[in-house]
Amino acid sequence: MLKKKVVILIILLSVGAFGFFILKTININPEYKVGKQIDQFNGVAVYYNGNVGHISGRELTADGYNLGLKHQCVEFVKRYYYEALNHKMPNSYGHAKDFFDNKVSDGKINKGRNLIQYSNPSLSKPRLNDLVVYSGTVLNKYGHVSIISQVTDKDIEIIQQNPGPFGDSRKRYHLIKENDKWKINNHQILGWLRKK
Which residue intervals of the chain are DSSP H helices? 2-25, 73-85
Complete domains list, the chain, with CATH: 28-194 (3.90.1720.10)
What is the chain's mean pLDDT, rounded? 88
Contact 116, 109 (CB under 8 A): yes
Report d(CA 48, CA 9) in Å as an integer.
36
Closest residue by Cα to residue 164 from 68, 74, 53: 53
Poorest-confidence range of 5-14, 46-55, 71-80, 91-100?
A: 5-14
Q: What is the pLDDT of residue 21?
A: 46
Report d(CA 146, CA 80) in Å as an integer.
10
Contact 132, 158 (CB under 8 A): yes
pLDDT, tens digit (0-9, with 9 covering 90-100), for 120-162: 999 999 999 999 999 999 988 999 999 999 999 999 999 999 9
Three-state secondary structure call for residue 75: helix
- The pTM for the full model equals 0.85
